[in-house]
Chain A
Amino acid sequence: MKKWLIMLVAIVLGLLGLAGCSSSDKSSGESKDGKVEITYGFWDKKQVPAINEIIKKFNEKYPNIKVKTEITPYGQYFQKLETAATGGALPDVLWMNGAHVQQYAEGKVIIPLNDLVKKDDYSLDNYPKSLVDLYTVNDQVYGIPKDYDTIGLWYNKKIFDDAGVAYPDESWDWNKLKEVAKKLTNKDKGIWGFASTLMNQEGYYNFIWQNGGEIVSADGKTAGFDKPETIEALKFDVSFIKEGLSPTQAQMTETAASELFSSGKIAMMFDGPWMVPEYKKNPDINVAVLPKGKQRAVSIHGLANVIAANTKHKDAAWKFVQFLGSKDAAEIFAKTGTVIPAYNGTQDAWLKSVPNMNLKVFIDSAEYSVPLPSVKATGEIWQYEVDVLKKAWSLEVSVEDAAKELNKMANDALAKN
């Protein structure tokens, strides 16, 4: 009889597949005896311990709201969200970044929080204004800031000591950076003074803003890649590669700059505080403020927690989002040393988590920070940046030509939306 059973199962399976094409509802979290379950979607595995602790604290307060976590690596995160949104299956609460908030807000797959904020008298003044602005679309707030990151000049003390050069400090400007990069570059030892990575937030955006250039105009209508200030900044960044002070673009795609840096082959590079857990194991590594150009500037970006429009438990989700944005939650994040919490005044705990590094630069520089462009086309423009600028980075085309080409593509993308 077993054989019959197998055959039956096989047929049913086939029919099931057929029927399944039309019906698709998947309900999340049944509410029996007042208990609800919500899901929390995010990407960074390093934050799991902190998040689990927060959920535990949250449940002490709200024992009836069960929180299930859903981790997706960053590489697939937004791709997955998009399909989940298509099927109305987004996690109830999820991480959002500045590049996608516009698209999601206008696609109406996440909900504005203004009414909820008003109802509960929730204060948004506890977070840096630039972060709240980042998640404000058409005057509606969509996300409660979670954390933020700025960029610092990471350096390897040992390489500086060997060459007898003083460590970077606030007095540094572009010229000094170039000058020291030249001194530290040592072909025989295979050491480069600096790494001009093809990264926007960590790399060339900082130079562009320091030089008075722009990525997207304030009204979000035109791209600024062809502005003379922008081109000049890009040229400065690429000049390190041209002059042999940085590994070539080819070398950096074959062996990541951060790996070369942590193994003492690169003296200085721009990068964010998310490298702290990795670099704190190496006593030679420290961080300084970015050198200044015509002005001081640094990119800032922060994540926020948002609520999906398809949630069946809006109240529970909002309670959880509030808790995630609370001081208690921020302190837990700070203690674990993974991110700079967005809640004002909790950053000290983060500094103390790794006392031997000059992490203060990341917080101090928030003062003059510039948020990443946040328009609907940001994701698309970022794609083009890689496609086009890599040709300039590998010295195949001039920076001017690349910038002009990129500007045209970016303008098209902006016009389309």
Chain B
Amino acid sequence: MKELPLNGDVKGKRKKSVSSLAKTKKRSDYFWAYVMIAPTMLGLFIFYLWPILQTFYYSFTEWGAFGQHVWIGLENYKRMLTDANLFQSIKNTAIYIIFTVPIGIFLSILVAVLLNQKIKGKTVYRTLYFLPVITMPAAIAMVWRWLYNADYGLLNYLLSLFGIKGPHWVSDPKIALYSIIVVAIWSGVGYNMVIFLSGLQGIPRVYYEAAEIDGAGPFTVFFKITLPLLSPVIFFVTIMSLIGAFQVFDLIFMMIGKGSTALEHTQSIVYLFYQHAFVLNDKGYAAAIAVVLLIVILIITAIQMALQKKWVHYD
């Protein structure tokens, strides 16, 4: 491989003092750095950074039938204040988060801790719990919708063996959201479990040995050693799960039918965004929803960051 002629090292033929040598080396450094970051930075700029500004702009516009849009100021935001569907979707998303995130994290820690014991068949368990993680959400939604089917589903059949008449899991407005939550937890446990497991394995054995010498019971060990030392990982997983849960879409889109009265009681903020942006062609309003989603996520993340000082222990 030949040096590029542009390269500073060969460019200067003049007498080189030590300092000018360092300068050319530096210039060559800059050249390489900019060339190497250029594709990614350009791509990020075109497809991610600039669109953020664009979305802000769109949120002040109204869209006509074939792509024309006009500036309407704050109308979209004003409209939000009276949009019952939006408030319902925020509530749905909040319920979804409140259940999926803590329960999901609790269950994955539980599984991780159990798998961190000296038992047989760890790899088999780990594989099985990981299966949903590699499965596409569209397929997961489809099979669960079938399991949940009120008349012919497996779940209600199993309940009927105990003399219980199962509900309409995905079409009863009161239950459907919780049915989706169960699926979300089911499909997410494996992912977080793997992260926790590697976190657990990073805890030095000496702590446990010391605890054993002190005669601490398993619960004391868990709460006094495992949990504090695992707290940075828990913090990370919490943030990631929160952000993920805010954006729930696939499961709802695939599991809840358009003619179902449960739709209003399950649709998330992102579902509503999709609906306005790509079904109702109400792109200005959709952009406003996206902006609100961004602000909410930033606030929640900031709160998390502030709270972490209270409970996360870094060595």
A-side residues, CB < 8 A to B, are 1, 3-4, 7, 10-11, 13-15, 17-18, 21, 79, 82-83, 85-87, 103, 107, 109, 190, 198, 249-255, 383, 386, 390-391, 393-394, 396
Interface of A is mostly: helix
* Residue of chain A at shortest CB distance from B264: A387
- Answer whether A18 and B259 are a contact pair too, CB < 8 Å, given A82-B281, A250-B150: no
Stretch at the interface among B16-24, B40-48, B284-292: B40-48
CA distance A111 to B59 in the complex (A): 33
| B149 close to A (CB within 8 Å) | yes
A255 near B149: Cβ-Cβ < 8 Å: yes
* Residues 8-60 of B at the A interface (beta carbon under 8 Å): 35, 38-39, 42-43, 46-47
Complex Cα–Cα for A151 and B145 (A): 31
Question: B residues bordering A, Cβ < 8 Å?
Answer: 1, 35, 38-39, 42-43, 46-47, 65-67, 145, 148-152, 168, 170-172, 257-261, 278-281
Q: Are A251 and B150 in contact (CB under 8 A)?
A: yes
Would you give 18 A-B contacts (Cβ < 8 Å), ordered by A? A3-B1, A7-B35, A11-B39, A14-B42, A14-B43, A14-B46, A18-B46, A79-B278, A82-B65, A87-B67, A250-B168, A251-B151, A252-B259, A254-B145, A254-B168, A254-B257, A255-B151, A390-B260
Residues A390 and B39 in contact in the complex (CB < 8 Å), given A1-B1, A109-B66, A254-B168: no
Main secondary structure of the interface of B (DSSP, over half): loop
Which residues of A sit under 8 angstroms from B258, Cβ to Cβ?
A: 386
Q: Which residue of A lies closest to B46 (CB)?
A: A17
Given contacts A14-B43, A18-B46, A107-B66, contact A253 B38 (CB under 8 A): no
Nearest 4 pairs of A and B residues by beta carbon: A86-B67, A250-B171, A14-B42, A253-B257
Taking CB atoms, residues of chain A closer than 8 Å to B259 are 198, 249, 252-253, 386, 390, 393
Which residues of chain A come closer than 8 Å to B39, judged between CB atoms?
A: 7, 10-11, 13-14
In contact, B279 and A79 (Cβ under 8 angstroms): yes
A291 to B199, CA, bound (A): 69
| Structural contact, B261 and A394, CB atoms closer than 8 A | yes
Name A250's closest neighbour in chain B (CB-CB): B171
B261 touches A14 (CB 8 A): no
**B151 — which chain A residues lie within 8 A by C-beta?**
190, 251, 254-255
With A79-B279, A253-B171, A255-B149 already in contact, the answer to whether A391 and B261 are too (CB < 8 A) is yes
**Docked CA distance A14–B46 (Å):** 9
The complex places the Cα of A252 from the Cα of B168 at a distance, in Å, of 11
B46 & A254 in contact (Cβ 8 Å cutoff): no
| Chain B proximity of A99: nearest CB distance (Å) | 13
Closest to B63 in A: A86
Query: How far, in angstroms, from A390 to B262 measured CA to CA in the complex?
Result: 10
